[in-house]
Amino acid sequence: MKTLADLEKIKNKTLDKMNIRADREEGIRIVVGMATCGIAAGARPVLNAVSDEVSKRNLKNVVVSQTGCIGVCRLEPIMEVYAPGKDKVTYVKMDAEKAVKVVAEHIVNNRPIKEYTIGEADK
C-alpha cells in the first residue's frame, strides 16, 4: 500500500464483499455483536449457530460477521440483518435457537421475525 488510490481499491472491493452497499441488488449481511458485553451475554453460541445454519443450508451470498458494541448492552446478544433495499433489522436477546429460526424465516423465506426485533423488546 503506497497511495490513496490503493486504499480506494481495497475500499471498493471490500464494500462489495461486505454486502453493505445501499444500491446492491442482492446479498445479505448478518452481524453479531461480539464486544465484551455481547460475549458475556452469550453471543458466541449465536454467532456459531448462524454460521453453521448458513453453511448447512448452503446459502450463497450471505456474509456472516462479528462486530463491536452498538450500545444497547442490556439487550445483548444482538444480531443484525442487512438486506438489499431494506432498513437493517436488529434482533435482540438472541440465543442459538432463535438465531437458527431467523436464518430460516428471515434470510431464506424473507419474513423477519418481528417479535425478536428491538422494537418489540419492551412490549
Residues contributing to the site for other proteins (CB under 8 A): 1-4, 7, 10-11, 13-15, 17-18, 20, 26, 31, 33, 35-37, 39, 56-61, 65-74, 80, 86-90, 104, 106, 108-112, 114, 117-119
Own/partner pairs for 11-19, CB < 8 Å, 24+ apart?
17/63, 18/63, 18/65, 19/61, 19/62, 19/63, 19/82
Beta carbon nearer to other proteins, 95 or 101 = 101
Grid cell at residue 93: 436477546
Task: State the burial class of residue 8 (Cβ atoms within 10 Å of its Cβ: 0-12, 13-18, 19+).
Answer: exposed
Beta carbon nearer to other proteins, 88 or 97 = 88
Beta carbon nearer to other proteins, 51 or 90 = 90
Report in angstroms how near the CB of residue 28 gets to other proteins at its nearest: 10
- Consecutive H or E run containing 8: helix 4-18
Report in angstroms how near the CB of residue 92 gets to other proteins at its nearest: 10
